[in-house]
Amino acid sequence: MAAPDLTAELDRLRAAGLYRRRRVQDAPTQPRGRTDGRPLVSFCSNDYLGLANHPEVIAALQQGAQRWGVGSGSAHLVNGHSAAHQGLEEDLAEFTGRPRALLFSTGYMANLGVISALTGRGDTVYEDRRNHASLLDGALLGRARLRRYPHADAAELARLTQGTSARLIATDGVFSMDGDLAPLPALALIAQQTGAWLLVDDAHGLGVLGREGRGSLDHFGLDGTAVPLLMGTLGKALGTFGAFVAGSEDLIETLIQRARPYIYTTATPPALAAATRVSLALARREDWRRTRLTALIARLRAGATQLGLPLADSQTPIQPLLAGSTERALAWSRTLESAGLLVTPIRPPTVPTGTARLRITLSAAHTDADLERLLDALARLPGIADGPIIDTK
């Protein structure tokens, strides 16, 4: 049997406008940098609070490297778990109001680890159709039966779970491609009624929403009883790298014993944990960053309304400009790049066919001038007055 023709498949992706390529950055993570050798203002980073290039975080990383070296040397369960890791886990547990927290190397691995550790053959996992790929893949790795409900449709989830034995319900807190919030109070009630675990991936909510940036759960006033499984990432609003799961003592001990992506992965560098402790402290005490971000979101949406721009309904830093077709999203992205702005197009399979968009993301580090420049360029996008034809549900 002949090997698969990879060249033909790559050619098909190029012809369909779905081929992806990497861009080379030649500057720290910040709005104004250099991409592929060109100066561009970025509106597609998840550095929501502007902490990725903060001097105190940089200094903490440098000092951490002096203290701990560069690598951790092994997995957490061998000899890679340092006092820096332990201190960060304790900080994250206190921050989220949970008894314990457990570090993972990435959010993807955290979701794979949690779902596969807590579910298996014969179990049913219910997930929002627009969940992050890692949540969907976690159910597949755990070999559970995966059932997907329409986006943010708690009523349909209640119908699907009625009279059944659900093992776990999983959802994004803030949906990464849409910027909207999951109906967490309703999902928590359904989980309670069915006896299921509720897992919330709050990668895009932590640092941004709630008191001191405690996330979407705090935004809705939900505690660890209502939502026993919380996953958060460190590489977005906190500006560093990695992820964690927070929950009960028994939950964390179970994950240490059973979560394969935790057991069989080298721990992240201790110096990185030391830097994250500083970025977490900055995010908590410098509330002006969230205030600034909220003001930028309001200004962008007000300007978009005046221009008739088809922004999705989002009150978070994720502001999707709906294009509809892949071709239009690519054309819009190229037009913005020619104006010195980097906004990458999001295309299938990341989003459903017919819902391609520009995923505009804002940072507290953006200036008023940056935002005005973006709005001015958006007003000149080809075909913008026509608007997209999209079923956003």
What pLDDT is recorded for position 29? 81
The verdict on 360 and 271 lying in the same domain is no
Asked if residue 221 is part of any domain, the answer here is yes
User: What is the torsion angle, in degrees rounded to the nearest 10, for the CA atoms of residue 233, residue 236, residue 239 and residue 241?
Assistant: 40
Q: Taking residues 94-100, report their average pLDDT.
A: 98
Asked whether the predicted pLDDT for residue 213 surpasses 60, the reply is yes
Q: Which of 284, 221, 222, 224 is nearest to 101 (CA)?
A: 224
The verdict on 221 and 316 lying in the same domain is no
What is the β-pairing status of strands 168-172 and 124-128? parallel
The verdict on 140 and 89 lying in the same domain is yes
What pLDDT is recorded for position 392? 44
DSSP single-letter state for residue 144: P
Sequence-distant (6+) residues with CB within 8 A of 173 are 181, 182, 184, 200, 201, 202, 203, 204, 205, 215, 216, 217
Asked if residue 200 is part of any domain, the answer here is yes
Distances (CA, A) of 384 to 45, 353, 378, 379: 23, 19, 8, 7
Q: What single-letter amino acid sits at 329?
A: A
Residue 16: HSE in the Cβ half-sphere, 13 Å Cα cutoff: 15
Residues in the chain: 393
Asked if residue 17 is part of any domain, the answer here is no
Q: Taking residues 89-114, report their average pLDDT.
A: 98
Structure tokens that stand for 224 in this block? 């660890």
Predicted confidence (pLDDT) per residue in 177-194, tens digit = 999 999 999 999 999 999
Q: How many folded domains does the chain comprise?
A: 2
299-302 contacts: CB < 8 A, separation 24 or more? 299/368, 299/371, 300/360, 300/362, 300/371, 300/374, 300/375
Asked if residue 65 is part of any domain, the answer here is yes
Range of the domain at 342: 24-49+287-386
Q: How confident is the model at residue 202 (pLDDT cuts 50, 70, 90)?
A: very high
Q: How confident is the model at residue 163 (pLDDT cuts 50, 70, 90)?
A: confident
Overall pTM surpassing 0.85 (yes/no): yes
What pLDDT is recorded for position 33? 83
Q: Taking residues 89-108, report their average pLDDT.
A: 98
Q: Is the CB of residue 125 less than 8 Å from the CB of residue 170?
A: yes
Residue 386 CA to residue 283 CA, distance in Å, equals 40
What pLDDT is recorded for position 1? 66
Q: Which of 352, 14, 48, 27 is nearest to 174 (CA)?
A: 48
Structure tokens that stand for 161 in this block? 């779970």
Asked whether the predicted pLDDT for residue 384 surpasses 80, the reply is no
Asked if residue 2 is part of any domain, the answer here is no
Predicted confidence (pLDDT) per residue in 293-336, tens digit = 999 999 999 999 999 998 999 999 999 999 999 999 999 999 99
The verdict on 185 and 77 lying in the same domain is yes
Asked whether the predicted pLDDT for residue 255 surpasses 80, the reply is yes
CATH value at residue 177: 3.40.640.10
The verdict on 265 and 348 lying in the same domain is no
Q: How confident is the model at residue 2 (pLDDT cuts 50, 70, 90)?
A: low
Q: Which of 285, 304, 336 is the last residue of a domain?
A: 285
Asked whether the predicted pLDDT for residue 389 surpasses 60, the reply is no
Rg from Cα positions in the chain: 21
The verdict on 165 and 175 lying in the same domain is yes
Asked whether the predicted pLDDT for residue 388 surpasses 60, the reply is no
What pLDDT is recorded for position 387? 54
What is the β-pairing status of strands 197-201 and 229-233? parallel
Q: What average pLDDT does the structure give for the chain?
A: 94
Asked whether the predicted pLDDT for residue 252 surpasses 80, the reply is yes
Q: Which of 285, 307, 340 is the last residue of a domain?
A: 285
DSSP 72-89: --SBIIIII--HHHHHHH
Q: What single-letter amino acid sits at 162?
A: Q
CATH value at residue 306: 3.90.1150.10
DSSP 154-182: HHHHHHHHTTS---EEEEESB-TTT-PBP
What pLDDT is recorded for position 390? 46
Q: What single-letter amino acid sits at 313?
A: D
- Percentage, residues of the chain above pLDDT 70: 97
Q: What positions carry a catalytic annotation? A: 176, 204, 236
Predicted confidence (pLDDT) per residue in 31-87, tens digit = 888 888 899 999 999 999 999 999 999 999 999 999 999 999 999 999 999 999 999
Q: How confident is the model at residue 30 (pLDDT cuts 50, 70, 90)?
A: confident
The verdict on 212 and 357 lying in the same domain is no
